[in-house]
Structure 1
Amino acid sequence: MNEVLATMMNHRSIRRFKEEQVTREQIEQIVRAAQMASSSNFMQSYSLIGITEPAMKEELGAITGLPYVAANGHLFIFCADLHRVTVRGTEEETKNMEAMLESSALYQIAVIDAALAAQNAALAAESMGLGVVIIGAIAKDIARLDTMLKLPKYVVPLFAMAIGVPDQHTDIKPRLPVPAVYFENHYMASREEQLEQIEQYDEQMSAYYAGRNENTRNDTWSHKHVAVLQSKVPVHQFTRYVQSKGLNRS
């Protein structure tokens, strides 16, 4: 196994970091690595915002309720960004682009671009011996975050990434078996086959949760996600917020 594969296969989320700041050189390398990700039509329709002001990190920690949002080596906010493409356009040109800019197709492209860049960034950070965790909870007060970051039209924050020197050793979560996620030529139609694979995976996850180093519990993959999805309701405020920024309207 080569070094890249070894780094990928060793991925785990780190939620406790040492009190060491990530260097400017490391941040620049991580951003450059993020920029090398594939991008639809080479639009590069994302931006990264590094949060270096301690008071802002504390406020984000309060929004999310997660201590590692404030206590880390560096915090990135990944944004879908379709504003940049309008900067050199005239008012008439921007108006002519509006239908495409506000389409769900282009919003999806921006989200995918940001996600691909984030995966590159995470791999780069881990290759340096740093730990990472992706944070979706920044959406809990999306309007407040928008104001904090001073985001223009066509830019929305999607998720954060905390990075830093790990101060914990977490176990690697077992993934679904390959046949459960990789099909050839068509989607697996047999519910019985899927059920068998998921039941075997649930047994594996149950053993993992019971035996891991921290936060042991009696749980399975199916129980966790079925219970969560049944207990929650859709967060319509995020959809309304995204549309208020001129994105995903059609």
Structure 2
Amino acid sequence: MNETIETILNHRSIRHFKNEPLTNEQIRTIISSAQAASTSSYIQAYTIIGVKDPAKKKRLAELAGPQSYVEENGHFFVFCADLYRHEKIGEWENADVIPSLESTEKFMVAVIDASLAAQNASIAAESMGLGICYIGGIRNDLESVSELLGLPDRVVPLFGMAVGIPESHSDVKPRLPMETVYHEDSYNVDEASIKEGLDRYDETISAYYHARTAGKRSDRWTAQMAKMLSGKKRMYMKEFVEKKGFNNR
């Protein structure tokens, strides 16, 4: 096993950071690593907003939860699906790009491109001894986030990433059994097999929480998912995305 794989397998979300900003060199290295990620047809349909302004970080922390680690970290990045540049390219090159930009396909391309870039950024940061935490909470109110960051149409903020020097480390959280997520040649729809894997995973997760909380929690993963998915959350998303000029065709 090499150092890169060890870094990947050692990932955990960090929610307490030392009060020490990233250096410009660290930021540039993280962004350069993000840009080295694969991109569909070289379209590079994303933008990364680095947020340094304390007032803006505080406001983002409020919108995201509140979540204090959105405000208290070494640097906060917001990853955006971005086709604004491409709309301008169409204008400058006298090409009718709007039907393509409004397609579900290009929306997926932009989301995937941004996600690939973010994961590269995450691995780069962790390889430098930094910690990271993805922040989906910024999607609680994307209208306010867009206004705060001055995002034009065809730019949708997808998630944030808090990065910094870890104040402390939690244990690595167990993932689903590999056979649950990796199927060969065709999808395994055998319910008994799926149930058996999830039952084993529930036992693992319950033990993890029990040890981590000194017996105060013993949640099952399947119960967590059932409870979460039974509620409605961020149901405005389709309307917002379409309003921003995405996913209209």
TM bracket (short chain): over 0.9
Q: Distance in 2 between matches of 1:216 and 1:48?
A: 39
Distance in 1 (alpha carbons) for counterparts of 2:46 and 2:222: 33
- Determine if contact 2:139/2:234 at 8 Å carries over to the other structure: no
8 Å contact 1:170–1:213 — kept in the other structure?
A: no
Q: Report the CA distance between 1:216 and its aligned residue.
A: 5.1
Residue 183, structure 1, aligned to residue 183, structure 2: yes
Match of 1:121? 121
Q: CA deviation at 1:93?
A: 3.6
Deviation of residue 88 (structure 1)?
A: 3.1
Question: Does 2:71 align with 1:70?
Answer: yes
Distance in 1 separating the partners of 2:6 and 2:155: 35
Aligned length: 248
Q: Distance in 2 between matches of 1:134 and 1:241?
A: 21
**Distance in 2 separating the partners of 1:89 and 1:98:** 8
How far did residue 218 of structure 1 move?
Answer: 2.0
Deviates more, 1:109-118 or 1:215-224: 215-224
* Superposition misfits of 4+ residues, deviation over 6 angstroms: none
Aligned to 2:243: 244
Give the letter aligned to residue 40 of structure 1. Answer: S
Identify the residue that residue 29 of structure 2 maps to in structure 1: 29
Correspondence 1:96-175 to 2 at 5 A: 96-175=96-175
Closer/same/farther in 2, CA of residues 2 and 91 from structure 1, 3 Å limit: closer
- In the alignment, structure 1 segments of 5+ residues that lack a partner are none
Percent identity reads 45
Deviation for aligned residue 1:92: 8.4
Change (3 A) 1:20 1:213: farther
Native 8 Å contact 1:170 1:214 kept in 2: no
1:115-156 superposed Cα distances (whole Å, 9 cap, x missing partner): 000000000000000000000000111111111111111111
Q: Does 1:56 align with 2:56?
A: yes
Q: Residues 86 and 139 from structure 1, CA distance in 2 versus in 1: closer, same or farther, beyond 3 angstroms? A: same
Contact 2:205-2:220 within 8 A present in 1 as well: yes
What TM-score, normalized to structure 2? 0.96
Flag the 1:91–1:126 CA change in 2: closer, same or farther, 3 A: closer
Amino acid at match of 1:98: I
1:126/1:220 CA distance change after superposition, 3 Å: same
For the aligned residue pairs, the C-alpha RMSD in angstroms reads 1.5
Aligned CA distance change for structure 1 residues 197 and 162 (closer, same or farther; 3 Å): same
Match of 2:13 in 1: 13
Unaligned 5+ residue runs, structure 2?
none
